[in-house]
């Protein structure tokens, strides 16, 4: 089973003992803060959980899977996430 935004809002509301409306606003604010920070190129770190950052990807050569034709893949920025120790430990226990 996959946890979606609705499930996460319900979980936050229950754990924080707030309404789902308040939990949804809080979650939206956190997501917006992460977006804004990454757009500026600034990493976001939650100690123990992990770090979101932006990595530069260089231009590279690829292939069209249908035709096998060589294509150039443009340089771009990509979002990366590195899990923190507590998260890694929780997943591996």
Question: Which of 32, 81, 34 shows the shortest CA–CA distance to 42?
Answer: 34
The structural domains of the chain, with segments of one domain joined by +, span: 1-40, 43-93
Rounded distance between C-alpha atoms, residue 54 and residue 79, angstroms: 5
Look at the domain 43-93 and name its fold: HU Protein; Chain A (4.10.520)
For the stretch 17-30, pLDDT in tens is 999 999 999 999 99
pLDDT tier, 1 (very low <50, low <70, confident <90, very high otherwise): confident
Strand partners, 70: 63
pLDDT of residue 38: 97
Q: What pTM did the predictor assign?
A: 0.80
Nearest Cα neighbor of 8 from 25, 24, 21 is 24
List pLDDT tens digits, range 30-87. Answer: 999 999 999 999 999 999 999 999 999 999 999 999 999 999 999 999 999 999 999 9
């Amino acid at each position: 089973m996959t946890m979606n935004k609705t499930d996460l809002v319900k979980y936050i509301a229950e754990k924080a003992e707030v309404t789902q409306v308040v939990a949804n606003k809080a979650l939206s604010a956190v997501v917006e803060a992460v977006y804004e920070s990454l757009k500026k190129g600034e990493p976001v770190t939650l100690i123990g959980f992990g770090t979101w950052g932006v990595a530069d990807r260089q231009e590279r050569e690829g292939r069209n899977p249908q035709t096998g034709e060589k294509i150039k893949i443009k340089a771009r920025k990509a979002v990366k996430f590195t899990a923190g120790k507590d998260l890694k430990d929780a997943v591996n226990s």
